Chains A and B, each alone.
Chain A
Amino acid sequence: MDRIREILVDTRPEYDFLDEVDFIEEGMLDSFDVITLVTELEESFDIQIDGADIIPENFCSINAIKELIVKSGGTI
C-alpha cells in the first residue's frame, strides 16, 4: 500500500493522496499523470495492466489501485 502511495506522490508531489478523497473527482490525476502512473505501476509490480482496465473507477483511490494490481496478476 505504501508503495502505491509513494508512486502517486512521486507523480503529483503536491498532493497527499489520503484514503478519504476520490483522486479522479478531485482532479488530482490528469492525462499526463495517468500515463506515468500506469508505466510506473507496471514496472514496479511487474504486471501488465489491461487496456480495458484503464478507467477512472480503477484509479480513484489507493484501494482501487490495489485491486487493479491484484487483478493484473501482481502481489502487494
Chain B
Amino acid sequence: MNTLVLKYLEESCKNFKDKVAFIDEDNSITFGQIKYKALGISDEIINRLGYTSNKGILIFLPKTIDSIASMFGIVYSGNFYTPTNVDFPSKKIESILEALNPSLIITDTQNKNKLINLGIGDERIICLDLIDFSKSINNLKNNINNAIDTDIVYTYFTSGSTGTPKGVTINHKNIIDYIDWACDKFPIDETTIFGNQSALYFDITTQDIYATLKKAATMVIIPEKLFAFPIKAVEFIKEKHINFLYWVPSAYINLVNFKSLESISLDEIKSIMFGGEVMPVKHLNYLKDKLPNLNFIANVYGPTEATVNSTYYIIDKDFKEEESLPLGHIIENKRILILDENDNVITQPNQMGEICILGTSLSSGYYKNYEKTKEVFVQNPLHNDYIDIMYRTGDLATYNEDNLLIFCGRKDNQIKHLGYRIELGEIETAALSLEEIDNCMSFYDTTKRNIVLLYVSNSANFDQKKLKVALTNILPKYMVPTKYYQLEELPINANGKIDRMLLKQQYS
C-alpha cells in the first residue's frame, strides 16, 4: 500500500530512473539523480539532528531543482519542509522564522548571510553547495522506515489577519488522497511536461511536483523573471516543449493582456488548469482561440487547508463573457457542506452559505497555533456522535440550477491578488506599525486588480513614496498596495467601525 509520498519517487525510479524529472533555467535532473541528491541531503540532516520526526526545516533557496531535491531530502529524513522566498523582506522572513522555529535551514553560500544577519547561528544552517555528494548511495542515512502517513510533509505559511502568518500542516495521507485522484482524473502520464509557474510555498506546486513523481512526468520550472516579459515566458514554454499548464488566473491574464500569444503559437499545449482566484471567461475564450491543440481545461478550487483542491469543473462547453465559471463538482473522498449562519445545511439552489469541507485531505491544523486551529477546524455541527472535524473555509457559495457550486466571495477581509491569498488585516497591521501612520484601511479594487490603501498620517513629510518604500520593507511584493490616498480622517459607520463599504465605493 502506498502510504508515503516518496513511494511515488521510488516507483518512478524503478522504471524511469534515467528519465528527466525536473528542469530549471540552467539544469535538469533525472528521477535517479534527484533521489540520490535527496538522500545526500537527508544524510546531512540526520548527521546534524539525529533520527527525528516532524521537525520543521526551512528551505531558503532560489526556486531551482535544488529546492525540490531539498524537499525530498527533508521528507527522507523524517521531517517536514517549509519553502520560502529569498527575496522576501527580512521582516517577513523573521515572522516565518518565529512561527516555525525551524530546527535547520537549508540554504546556499550566496544566501547564507541574510540568515546570519537575522541572528541565525551556523549550527542551524546547511549550505547545499557544501554538502559532499560523493558518498555511496548505500551509506546515506534516511528515516523513512519510521514514518507514518500522518507525519507532516510540509507546512505552508499563509497570510494572517494580525500579521502573524499561519502555517498549514499537510501530511502524507493528505497529499496522497489528492494526488491519486488528480492523476486519475486529469490527463497526466509520462509524456506530460508541466510548466510550473507558482511559487514553491504555494500548493498549486504540490500537484506539479507530486504528479510528476507519481506518473514519471517532467516538471519544468519557468523562471519567475520571464513573467515580467510574458513573451519571453512563451518562448521558454515552446523551447521546453511544455504541454500542461496549471497556473493562477493572473498569470494567464497577463499573457492575454500583453498579447503574448499573437506571434508565437504554443501548439504543444494540450491541457490547462487554473485555480486560486476567479478566471474571467473573456480571457479563457482568448486562450481557447490561441491554443490550437488544447483539449483539456479545468477550473479548480480549494483552500490549502484541504490540500490543493476540493472541487473541479472540466470545461467542455462554451461560456459567454458575462457568465461565471462554476467551482463545479466535489472531488472524490471529500464532503462539502454549505452552511447558513445558523449552521443549517443548504441544499436548494441560489441560497448562499459558507463552504465547509470534510475528509482525509484536511490539514491537522495550523503549526503551533491551537487558537487559530480551533476557530476553523471544528466539530461537524450536524452531530456530536464522534469526532468529525470540518474545516470552515470562509468562502461563500451557492448551488446553481444544475447543482454545481458557484463562488460568491468571502465572509471576511481575505482577498486573492495575483493568485495569492492575502488578509487585508496583515497589510493594515504593517501600515499601522509605522509611527507616521495613525489610521488606515485597505481594500481590493477587483476591476482594476489593485490593492488600495487609504491612510491618515501625523507627519506632513510622509508622502506616498515614503509609505510605499516602508511597506516594501515589511511585506512581500505581492502584498504592497499599488494605490494610495491620504485622508484627513476615516469615516465611521453606525457601529463605530471604519466605514469600509463607503470608502470602497468612493475610492474604487
The reply to whether chain A is a binding partner of chain B is yes
Give 19 A-B contacts (CB < 8 Å), ordered by A residue.
Answer: A9-B465, A10-B464, A13-B465, A13-B469, A30-B225, A30-B228, A33-B228, A34-B228, A35-B254, A51-B259, A51-B260, A51-B261, A51-B262, A52-B231, A52-B259, A52-B263, A54-B230, A54-B258, A56-B232
The answer to the question of A38 belonging to the interface, with a C-beta cut-off of 8 Å to chain B, is yes
Tell me, rounded to whole Å, the shortest Cβ–Cβ distance linking A41 to chain B.
13
Is the CB–CB distance between B465 and A36 below 8 Å? no
The answer to the question of B482 belonging to the interface, with a C-beta cut-off of 8 Å to chain A, is yes
The answer to the question of A47 belonging to the interface, with a C-beta cut-off of 8 Å to chain B, is no
Task: With a 10 A CB-CB cut-off, give which of B232, B258, B466 has the most chain A CB atoms.
Answer: B258
* Chain B residues at the A interface, C-beta cutoff of 8 Å: 224-225, 227-232, 254, 258-263, 418, 464-466, 468-469, 472, 477-478, 482
Residues of B contacting A30 in the complex (Cβ-Cβ under 8 angstroms): 224-225, 228, 477
Residues of A contacting B477 in the complex (Cβ-Cβ under 8 angstroms): 30, 32
* A52-B262 contact, Cβ under 8 Å, with A13-B465, A31-B224, A32-B478: yes
* A55-B232 contact, Cβ under 8 Å, with A9-B465, A10-B465, A14-B472: yes
The answer to the question of A7 belonging to the interface, with a C-beta cut-off of 8 Å to chain B, is no
The answer to the question of A50 belonging to the interface, with a C-beta cut-off of 8 Å to chain B, is yes
Tell me, rounded to whole Å, the shortest Cβ–Cβ distance linking B198 to chain A.
13
Separation of A52 and B137 alpha carbons in the complex (Å): 49
The answer to the question of A68 belonging to the interface, with a C-beta cut-off of 8 Å to chain B, is no
In chain A, what residue has the closest Cβ to B448?
A: A39
The answer to the question of A29 belonging to the interface, with a C-beta cut-off of 8 Å to chain B, is yes
Is the CB–CB distance between A36 and B231 below 8 Å? no
Number of A residues whose C-beta is below 8 Å from B? 19
Q: A31-B225, A33-B228, A51-B258 are in contact. List 14 more A-B contacts (CB 8 A).
A: A14-B469, A30-B228, A31-B224, A34-B228, A35-B254, A36-B482, A38-B258, A51-B231, A54-B229, A54-B260, A55-B232, A56-B228, A56-B229, A56-B232
**Per-residue contact bits, chain A 20-37, to B (CB 8 Å; 1 contact, 0 not):** 000000000111111110
Q: Which 5 A-B pairs have the closest CB atoms?
A: A51-B259, A13-B465, A31-B228, A31-B227, A34-B228
Residues of B contacting A34 in the complex (Cβ-Cβ under 8 angstroms): 228-229
In chain B, what residue has the closest Cβ to A37?
A: B228
In chain A, what residue has the closest Cβ to B224?
A: A31
In chain B, what residue has the closest Cβ to A9?
A: B465
Separation of A32 and B449 alpha carbons in the complex (Å): 12
Residues of B contacting A13 in the complex (Cβ-Cβ under 8 angstroms): 464-466, 468-469
Residues of A contacting B224 in the complex (Cβ-Cβ under 8 angstroms): 30-31
Residues of A contacting B230 in the complex (Cβ-Cβ under 8 angstroms): 51, 54
Task: With a 10 A CB-CB cut-off, give which of B263, B466, B482 has the most chain A CB atoms.
Answer: B482
Residues of A contacting B261 in the complex (Cβ-Cβ under 8 angstroms): 51
Is the CB–CB distance between B229 and A55 below 8 Å? yes
Tell me, rounded to whole Å, the shortest Cβ–Cβ distance linking A47 to chain B.
14
In chain B, what residue has the closest Cβ to A29?
A: B228
Task: With a 10 A CB-CB cut-off, give which of B229, B254, B477 has the most chain A CB atoms.
Answer: B229
Tell me, rounded to whole Å, the shortest Cβ–Cβ distance linking B56 to chain A.
29
Separation of A38 and B465 alpha carbons in the complex (Å): 19
Residues of B contacting A10 in the complex (Cβ-Cβ under 8 angstroms): 464-465
Tell me, rounded to whole Å, the shortest Cβ–Cβ distance linking B110 to chain A.
15
In chain A, what residue has the closest Cβ to B227?
A: A31
Separation of A36 and B478 alpha carbons in the complex (Å): 12
Tell me, rounded to whole Å, the shortest Cβ–Cβ distance linking B457 to chain A.
16
In chain B, what residue has the closest Cβ to A50?
A: B259
In chain B, what residue has the closest Cβ to A15?
A: B469
Residues of B contacting A50 in the complex (Cβ-Cβ under 8 angstroms): 259
